A = this chain, B = another copy of it.
Amino acid sequence: MKSTPIPAVQEIIARCRMAGLRRTKALEQLVMTLLEIGRPMTLSELAASNRLTDQCDKATVFRLLQRLVDHAVVRRLGLHERAAYFTLLMPGKHSDYLICTSCGSIEAITAACPVHQLEEEIRVKTGFRQLYHELEFFGVCPKCA
């Protein structure tokens, strides 16, 4: 599941470059971190990660994430915590999440997402553009129960 991250990093950065972003240290480190950890992360987590600490300011990470969201390289998720979560947007991949309301653990769900048909219906019926969805399951995990 966890293939060598380097090619993926290069591919994502290539997408950024085509979107007009510059190849900066912060960009590389941010993408590597998100790929390596493999789950949505908060701004604080990202800025505090050992790759980024002392390498760039939280404001920098914030603005970088903002640009990446604008260019659909990253998606901002709600996930219920007070802080927003960010995850890499991989073309053709979609994740739903299972979240423990007690310990806050976040797990991506691999099962096929049953929502695509409804999403298509909504697209047609409502005329919404750039439609996507977020599906989260909340509950108390076995450890916490």
Contacts and interface: CB of A to CB of B under 8 A. Distances in A.
Report copies per complex: 2
Interface in A18-60: none
Given A131-B137, A142-B126, A114 B111 contact: no
Contact of A78 (B79, B100, B145): B79
A129 interface: yes
B128 A132 contact: no
A45 B135 CA distance: 25
SS class of chain A's interface: helix, strand, loop or mixed?
Answer: mixed
Contacts of A129: 139-140, 145
Interface string A59-101: 0000000000000000010111000000000000000001011
A109 to B, nearest CB: 7
5 nearest A-B residue pairs (beta carbon): A78-B78, A128-B139, A131-B139, A127-B142, A129-B140
Interface of A: 76, 78-80, 98, 100-101, 109, 111, 114-115, 117-119, 121-123, 126-142, 145
